[in-house]
Structure formats: structure tokens, C-alpha cells
Amino acid sequence: MADQTPSPEQLTQVDYRPKGKSWLDPHVEFRKGTYCYSAAPKNLTYLGLPNPRQWQPFDQDWKLPPDWKDIILAGMKERLDRYRSFRLFMDICVRCGACADKCHFYLGSGDPKNMPVLRAELIRSVYRRYFTLAGRLLGSTVGARDLTEDVLKEWFYYFYQCTECRRCSVFCPYGIDTAEITMIGRELLTLVGCNINWVIEPAANCFRTGNHLGIQPHGFKDSIDFAVDELEEITGVRVEAPINRKGAEVLFVMPSADYFGTPHYYTLLGYLALFHEIGLDYTLSAFASEGGNFGLFTSHEMIKRLNAKIYAEAKRLGVKWIIGGECGHMWRVMHQYMDTMNGPADFLEVPVSPITHTRFDHAASTRMVHICEFTADLIRHGRLKLDVSRNDHWNVTFHDSCNPARAMGLIEEPRYIIRNTCRTFHEMPENTIREQTFCCGSGSGLGTDENLEMRLRGGFPRANAVRYVRDKHGVNVLACICAIDKATLPPLLEYWSPGVDVAGVHEFVGNALLMKGERDRTTDLRGEPFASAKEDRAHA
């Protein structure tokens, strides 16, 4: 961590009483550590997005196109006519303030414009000025603001300081969803080329190579082969992990971090062990080598562009249905957008587990099943031999990832898997889990190092709850089903709640799974000795 990172004592000096000028003043100070760098022109160019140029948020001149204001206002008009959510959420907020302290960025920063209501007002004030009679006539008296460059800069700062986690929408009496506002806000910023690189580079990579990390097909194969070797070393079992194989029953799609990052990688080992053990007829794809979709953090159009390959590849390979790996925002796209955008998936079949013959009717149209739904069903039917003592070195808590919890309702499946693979499990406090779960603070493309202070602030509510169960129950691992969580929670916990690791749910499955022909295993998928092995050594 960089030297100038403030200490936890400094970061928790948060004063929630707003001070100084009215929020109508748009001026923003781009302070190091609290914003993300601009998108590199080559990435915008590759995606055909507007206004590629060299610039940074702290520059005075953002090099906007001369008619930027008309572009934004026309963009607003178009979206007001296309999204009932946007139009309605502009109109009906009563500013009751119930959402204020529900936002992790507000709780961690105390910046009043991080209250979801004010985040929306940033754009609502412009809506009033140009699209309502009262705003046109009465101006700032009724909270209407002219669209100026300062307002645009403020939008950039605060719409890239929202992780689209939807927690506020749980508490809003009208269900106003700031994720919708932020998504539209970012779309508008995209129209004039104000993007961040941490979103646009993965999107460009994904468009070209098929995955966010820009891994080309031979690299993909190398990674998978390496995982197969490693799994053999640990378990003594050689598994098959076919790629681009036509005629398989199932296409398996995962976030690219699973085959390139840790601790994601142990989750991948878990998938591979599981699929081998149950004899699943499946294939991976080097083209559909990314389940995640940074289009979600750019524009609805970009979601569709990046998501198209999933069904296209399923069709080309002739599979019957799709399983998706552990990833949060990926599942928001798969669950709420994919079928509408790129369906109908009439060339696929309604998913049926070949092992248990369970028909996944809840995925009857989209024809894609979450790996946790699939595995929970296997365990329920007693189709997995599990030695739970192999996870005895873990004292587990579960972090609901925002999107599976609040945009899908996938809450019990991962818990069921954990309870059946681990013996010690403790929930964090009620108002920090399930639909009230707190974001990791780095979602929606904000997980970059230049933004570290804001990530630590935004992640504090989550880490605070982890620290609570660590101190109370001795929890030493945070399980989650999101690739961004797995990437960003380890540094967050190291900072706020040291001594707690991060793991995917299928890592526990891989640890506990008794495989046919396996060697006498002494280590988990991380190569760490099992608790029993440790005891043996202590007794020896």
C-alpha cells in the first residue's frame, strides 16, 4: 500500500454534519486517492466511443467537444423517453433522506453528495432546469442548476463514486434505485468521452479478446492447463477441462479473474474438481472467456455488445444450456439483462441437471444457471461425497455480493453450500447481510489503486462487520461469490480487519470433495495443510 495512504484512525474521523456551502455549488476538488484516471484514447477508439483524447480529471481543460452541452441534454431527453425508471426517479423523490446513511461511500466519507438522494439531485437539478416548467422559471430557488462544465466534472466525480450496489433502493419508500441514476449518468458522460480507464480498458479488452484481462486464446488455454496440473498435484486426480469443444451439454462461463487472479484461482480449482467428479459433459470457451461485463459500468449499449458472445458461443458450440461461475455484476447482467438484450435463447433447452435430473424452471427462459444453484442441488441430492473436516481450518462468514443479493435474490444457495462443506459458520450482523449487504466499496469498476482512499472508505462498513465477527467468533475467512470482491476485499480486510482471508464458495467445495482415485490429501487447494494434518504434526 502506498505510503501516503491515511491510517484507519484518520479515515474514521468522519463528521456527518454537512458543512459550508449549499450543494448547488458544483465545485469538486479532485484529491489524490479519491478518483479514477481517465480512459486511454486507444481504448475508446477501439470501442468506437466518442471523444478519445489525452486528459485527466485534475486538468482544468477537459477538452470536451464544443457542443457537449447539447449532446448531454439530447442524451437526457432520449433516456427520459426510453427508461421509465429514469423519468420516474427524476420526478418522485421527496427527499426524505432515508437513503442518506445507507450508502457505504457516505458512511465512510461523510461527503454529503454521497448521500444517494443528493447523488441523484446532481442530475435531477439539471433535469429541473431544462425539462420542467418550475425549474425553467424559478431556477435555483427550486433547486434547478444550469449545466456547466463544473456540473459535468461533479457528475464524473460522484457517478464514479457509486458502485451501483442498490443498497439505497432497498430502503427507499419508492424503490428509487441510484444504480439506475448512476448508470444513466455514466452513459451521459460516455457521450462526451468522460470515462475512467479501469472500466474502459477491460471493456475494450473484452470486446477484442473475449475477456477483461485481454488474455488471448493460447493464454487462456495455458491458464486452464496450468490449473489442471496444479489440481493433479494437490489431489492426484487428472481432470479434463475442454475448451471450445462442440457438442458438449453445458457451456461454463466464469469471470476471467477466476483463471488469472488469487484467491479466485482456488475457486477455479474447485469448479474443475467438481465437474470432473460428477462427470459433467461441459466445455469452456476461449471466446466467451468472460462472464463479467464492464459494459454494465459504461452504458446499456455496451452491456449488450459485450454480452452478445455468450449466446452466440452457446449456439456455435451447440450446447444445451449454460452454467455461470461466481461473479456478482456478471449475474446482474445474466439475470436481468441478457435474455432481454440478446435472447430469445430458443436454440438452448431448459436446464436439467444431468446428475440429479432437477429441472431448473426458474431459468426456463434465459437457460443459464448459477453454479451455486447447481451445486446446492447436487449436495441436496447427496450426489457429492464431502469431508467437511477438510475445511476445519476455516472459520467462515459469508459476504452477500450486491448483485446476487439485490438484483437476483440468490441468498440461501451459497449458504447451503457453505454449511455443507464447512463446520464453523457465523453470520455478520443482520443489517449488513442478505438484501442489506454492504458493497466491498470497489465495485462497478472503481477497484483501481489510484482510488484507494475512497475504496477503503467505501469498504469500511463491510470491513467493520467482518471485524465484528472476527473479534466475536474468531472468523478467519470471508466467503463470497464475486470476482471483484475476491480482488478487492483482501487489501481492504488487511487494512481494516487483518487476519481474515477471502475465499470463493467453490473453494470450500473443492477442499471437502472426496474424489475417486484421489491421493491421501493433506493440503487444501491453497496448498495449506488441513487442520487434521496440522494436529497430526503437533502430536508427532
* Site residues (CB under 8 A) for other proteins, limited to 376-405: 376-377, 380, 405
Q: Which is nearer to other proteins, 455 or 467 (CB)?
A: 467
59-88: contacts with other proteins (CB under 8 A): 80-85, 87-88
Would the CA dihedral through 312, 447, 221, 247 be positive or negative? negative
Enumerate residues 270-289 that contact other proteins by CB under 8 A.
Answer: 286-287
Contact 271, 505 (CB under 8 A): no
DSSP string, 445-472: TT--GGGHHHHHHHHHHHHHHHHHHHHH
Does residue 209 contact residue 216 with C-beta atoms inside 8 Å?
Answer: yes
| Residues 6 or more apart in contact with residue 64 via CB below 8 angstroms | 51, 149, 152, 192, 193, 194
User: Considering only residues 471-500, where is the footprint of other proteins by CB under 8 A?
Assistant: 471-474, 498-499
Rule CB under 8 A: which of 317-376 touch other proteins?
334-337, 339-341, 343-344, 358, 360-366, 368, 373, 376
C-alpha pair distances (Å), 305 with each of 65, 115, 242, 297, 350? 25, 32, 26, 13, 24
Contact positions with other proteins (CB under 8 A) in 419-448: 426, 429, 431, 434-436
- Considering only residues 10 through 49, tell me which ones interact with other proteins, judged by CB under 8 A: 12, 14, 16-18, 23, 48
| Smaller CB separation from other proteins, 36 or 172 | 172
Distances (CA, A) of 198 to 157, 277, 294: 14, 37, 9
Q: How far is the CB of 516 from other proteins (least distance, A)?
A: 26
Hey, which residues between 504 and 533 contact other proteins (CB under 8 A)?
Answer: none
Strands 396-398 and 368-370: unpaired
CA distance 275 to 238: 12
Closest CA to 325 of 480, 445, 207: 480
User: Please, what is the minimum distance in Å from the beta carbon of residue 297 to other proteins?
Assistant: 16
* Contact indicator for 486, 475 with CB cutoff of 8 Å: no
Please, what is the minimum distance in Å from the beta carbon of residue 472 to other proteins?
4
| Nearest-approach distance from CB 309 to other proteins, in angstroms | 7
Complex with other proteins: residue 1 or 94, whichever CB lies closer: 94
Rounded Cα distance between 379 and 387, Å, is: 12
φ, ψ of residue 437 in degrees (nearest 5): -60, 150
Q: State which of residues 155, 321, 394, 460 lies at the interface with other proteins (CB under 8 A).
A: 460
Closest listed residue to residue 507, CA positions, set 266, 277, 274, 323: 266
> Residue from 102, 320, 329, 455 that binds other proteins (CB under 8 A)?
102
Q: Which residue lies nearer to other proteins by CB, 274 or 368?
A: 368
Query: What is the three-class DSSP state of 113?
Result: helix
Which CB atom, from 208 or from 385, has the smaller least distance to other proteins?
Answer: 208
Is 455 an interacting residue with respect to other proteins (CB under 8 A)? no
Residue choice 28, 152, 176, 440 for contact with other proteins (CB under 8 A)? 176
Residues 6+ apart with CB under 8 A from 432: 438, 461, 462, 465
- Decide if residue 166 touches other proteins (CB under 8 A): yes
Q: Which is nearer to other proteins, 63 or 82 (CB)?
A: 82
Q: Candidates 36, 44, 71, 107: give the one binding other proteins (CB under 8 A).
A: 107
Residue 130 interacts with other proteins (CB under 8 A)?
Answer: no
Which listed residue (118, 268, 483, 503) binds other proteins by CB under 8 A? Answer: 118
